[in-house]
Amino acid sequence: MLNMIGRDFYGKRHTEFDLIRIKKAQAQGFDRPITAYLCSASIKARTGIGVVFGHNRKDQYGRFGDGHLIRTSDVIKAEREGRFWVLTTVNSRYVLATFQRGNGRASLREFLRLSQGMHHFTPRGLQ
């Protein structure tokens, strides 16, 4: 018997609306390089959560593959560039192509309200 480890990743097909918004974002261009595009995005506990598209660190094992759920590192800032919101983390920039229905835009507004002048990041380790 072989010793095999199976791993299932969350997967979601992007809707036609998601793909149209991603195409518009790609056509717009941004000030600095973009790491990936997020669909059905929201912000929870200072991290961005969404379904990824076009991640530049996608690998042969399926990590960061299109349609996978992703949780970013701590968001340093969220700012509007043209028609889209961009989340900046320590090493990455994510374009919010679409928001999670019912909660996504509200979570962004709440993040912007709470983060004004406050930068309390998640600790690297707990004691």
> What is the value of pTM for the model shown?
0.82
Residue 37 forms beta bridges with which residues? Answer: 53, 95
pLDDT one-digit tens code per residue, 12-65: 777 899 999 999 999 998 989 999 999 999 999 889 999 999 999 888 887 888
Q: Residue 120 has what pLDDT?
A: 62
Listed by start position, the domains of the chain span 16-114
